[in-house]
Structure 1
Amino acid sequence: MRCKKMAEFLRTNGISDNLEELIVNSKERLFLVSPYLQIADSLKKLIKVRDSQSIDLRIIYRKDTKINAEDTSFLQELNNVSIFVCENLHAKCYLNENTAIIASMNLYQYSQQNNREMGIKVEKEKEPDLYNDIFKEVMILLQISPQLEFPAEKSKKDAFTASKKVPKKINKRHQKKDMGFCIRCGNDLNFNPKKPLCYKCFKSWEKYSDPEYTEKFCHACGTEYSSTVAKPVCYACYKKLGK
């Protein structure tokens, strides 16, 4: 009797092929964890397509990494990406809602073409416990890593600056008490802390129904903030609402 195949071992070409497949097959979320934000052109094209589908796209990279002008420009063109900076990050991990890849390979083209790499692919359907362990660890990285925002003007010295929870977009409707924002996509909706997700994002969230899953925006003011369904507003808004 043959044993059921579980985690799959990948060599260099296998990592490249499966990473592209992972990005293409992302329907709900795509998390890319890599110390360096030098992204291969082939991956940029695939990421841009997924970004246009309004999935939950998040990138974590190392704090002391400098980003070149080309990659900065690419990231500024994306509409739905959230970028986080993690101190002392050395892990490389890529996952969507069904698959996780842990590998020695970074996202840049040189690694794919010149280095000898190794990694493993984990399918949630085959190994749910292992996949969930990987997913939980990525969520921890997101929780301990400050979110970044793009500067108003491009700078060659500093591609990004750490976010101080400055609003992603200024909207006069912030002043209306009955106006809120979806904590995942940032779109306008009625203010209701018990229902902080728009219908589309709620249907996606409902599949896992995790009230502690980290989202992107404050439900009250719309600023970029690591909110959750359980705690949908930022601290500043929480204090104002409590008065």
Structure 2
Amino acid sequence: MAKFLNTSATNYFLEELIKDARDRVILISPFLKLNDRIKELLSDKNRLKIDVRMVYGKSELQPEEINWLNDLTFVRTSFCKNLHAKCYLNEDMCIITSLNLYEFSQVNNNEMGILLTREDDAETFREAYEEAQRIIRISDEVRVSLKKIPKEDEKTESKKNDDKPEKLTSSKLAKKLGKNTDELMLLLCENGYLEDKDGKHFITEKGKSSGGQFMPKGRFGPYFLWPAELEL
């Protein structure tokens, strides 16, 4: 049966939840700002090689706390946009509460929550655990330096982008070469990258093969993109 928790009871069972964890700890809270007691307990879990996952929506860590996280091999952090849930779990217990992890909330605020156990509240515990897993799946894992770890598809896309040469609009390429746009357009035509038909410019096959692109929509209408190192 679920157990009602006031502020002091929530603090007590939260510590017990972390201390008693044998396999995993999941801490879901909008704010990544930990008090000293929680940090001490998490450091102990790390020494015991217990998997700890923290999901947050906003970080208020100080530089020394980031350094502390850097030393915790088995503690992983994830960012979840628009997170407002506060839920803390291990393999046997779950606390759903208004309590944040930071000290001000634990000392100054009037909080409420409920305690579920896997043994006495199997179905509700399972539903809470599955929702926690869903939140983890939709969150972005970040390094303890608080830099986002790209997902595999993002890594692939990033690598593709790294392989592509920088491209500039005609006006920016002209500025880079110390010319005005009309002078550049003339040069592009003379070098076979563009074709002038009745005062309108069209990209040629040579222009396309060199990396040039015609962009039909822009803030000021159609425009061209060119490799920054285009030979003219």
2:4 is matched with which residue? 9
Q: CA deviation at 1:108?
A: 0.8
For residues 94 and 87 of structure 1, what CA distance do their matches in structure 2 show? 18
Matched, 1:111 2:98: no
Q: After the TM superposition, list the runs of 4 or more consecutive aligned residues in structure 1 that deviate by more than 3 angstroms.
A: none
What per-residue deviation string (whole Å, max 9, x for no partner) do you get for residues 190-222 of structure 1?
xxxxxxxxxxxxxxxxxxxxxxxxxxxxxxxxx
Matched, 1:92 2:78: no
What SS does the aligned partner of 1:95 have? Answer: strand
For residues 111 and 57 of structure 1, what CA distance do their matches in structure 2 show? 22
Q: CA deviation at 1:73?
A: 2.1
1:161 is matched with which residue? 147
Residue segments in structure 1 that go unaligned for 5+ positions in a row: 1-5, 152-159, 167-243
Select the structure that is richer in strand: 2
What SS does the aligned partner of 1:162 have? Answer: coil
Check the 8 A contact 2:97/2:113 in 1, yes or no: yes
What per-residue deviation string (whole Å, max 9, x for no partner) do you get for residues 109-146 of structure 1?
11111110000000110011000000000000011111
Residue segments in structure 2 that go unaligned for 5+ positions in a row: 153-232
What SS does the aligned partner of 2:82 have? Answer: coil
2:76 is matched with which residue? 82
Q: CA deviation at 1:65?
A: 3.4
Q: CA deviation at 1:54?
A: 1.0
For residues 42 and 59 of structure 2, what CA distance do their matches in structure 1 show? 21
Matched, 1:130 2:121: no
Q: CA deviation at 1:66?
A: 3.9
What SS does the aligned partner of 2:99 have? Answer: coil
If the length of structure 2 is used for normalisation, what is the TM-score? 0.63
Stretch deviating more after TM superposition (46-55 or 21-30): 46-55
If the length of structure 1 is used for normalisation, what is the TM-score? 0.60
Select the structure that is richer in helix: 2
Residue pairs, 1:35-74, within 5 angstroms: 35-62=30-57, 64-74=58-68
What per-residue deviation string (whole Å, max 9, x for no partner) do you get for residues 128-168 of structure 1?
100000000000001111111134xxxxxxxx1111259xx
Q: 2:23 aligns with which of 8, 24, 28?
A: 28
Letter in 1 for 2:53: R
What per-residue deviation string (whole Å, max 9, x for no partner) do you get for residues 158-190 of structure 1?
xx1111259xxxxxxxxxxxxxxxxxxxxxxxx
Q: CA deviation at 1:79?
A: 1.1
Report the RMSD for the aligned CA atoms in angstroms: 1.4
Count of paired positions = 152
Share of identical aligned residues, percent?
Answer: 37
For residues 147 and 17 of structure 1, what CA distance do their matches in structure 2 show? 29
